[in-house]
Amino acid sequence: MKQNIFLLTQLEQLKSLSDPLRVKMLHLLIEKPYSGQQLSQLLNIPRSKIHYHLKDLEKNELIYLVSESKKRNMTEKQYRSTARSYIPTKELMPFQAPQNESGKLMTLTALERTKERVLKAPDTAFITETENPKEWSKITSQLEVKMTQEKFKEWVMKYQNLLEELTGVVEESEDAEWFYISTFGFRMNEPFFNSSEDGEEYE
């Protein structure tokens, strides 16, 4: 992986990420290198179509060639994503339509990958041994909060610092296990949780 965050500086890069198939391919390439043939099998899409989109992603510097090898009369190329996250620069902010489409697709695809991981996780991952959520070895929460954007940005900064701290943790002990964390937070037009309708209050 070349970098953690890739800054999108060109409108063509943003448009490239407005295609659902390219976003699916990119999310797979964030996780590990794949060849066009492997992506074709994973996504059940003709290899010619996969290669067309790979060329577009590579042209826009969103992926890069990892390795190239000869197999019989064919050349197998493996690709990897340029970064884990893709963020538009301020220069691209005026282009709201492609930016909105790209952002939604990236988020929805990440949700799909999270769902796949939940389904493949061991059953024991969801067992709780205590009634106190603070002592659980899993995180399951949905929150809706009302605050200013500035206040929310302050909280996001603290959260990002925690993620950086977590990313730096590497334990090689025999009892160390893998944990998956997927988080989303964004503005909404109105709340879905409305306890005031029936007079209920939650502690």
Amino acid at 119: L
Question: For each of the chain's 203 residues, which pLDDT tens digit applies?
Answer: 567 889 999 999 999 999 999 999 999 999 999 999 999 999 999 999 999 999 999 999 999 999 988 877 778 899 999 998 898 998 888 888 888 889 999 999 999 999 999 999 999 999 888 989 888 888 888 889 999 999 999 999 999 999 889 888 888 898 899 999 999 999 999 888 865 554 444 44
Per-residue confidence (pLDDT) for residue 169, from 0 to 100: 85
Q: Model-level pTM?
A: 0.77
Please give the Cα distance from 29 to 80 (Å, whole number).
5
Q: Which spans in the chain are helix H?
A: 11-16, 20-31, 36-43, 47-59, 96-120, 149-167
Residue tagged 């929310």 (tokens): 152
Per-residue confidence (pLDDT) for residue 195, from 0 to 100: 58
Instruction: Name 21's Cβ contacts closer than 8 Å, sequence gap at least 6.
Output: 43, 45, 49, 53
Query: Reduced to 3 DSSP states, what percent helix, strand and coil does the chain have, rounded to the nearest 5?
Result: 45, 15, 40
For 127, counting Cβ atoms within 10 Å of its Cβ (0-12 exposed, 13-18 middle, 19+ buried), the class is exposed
Task: List the chain domain ranges.
Answer: 3-122
CATH class of 3-122: mainly alpha
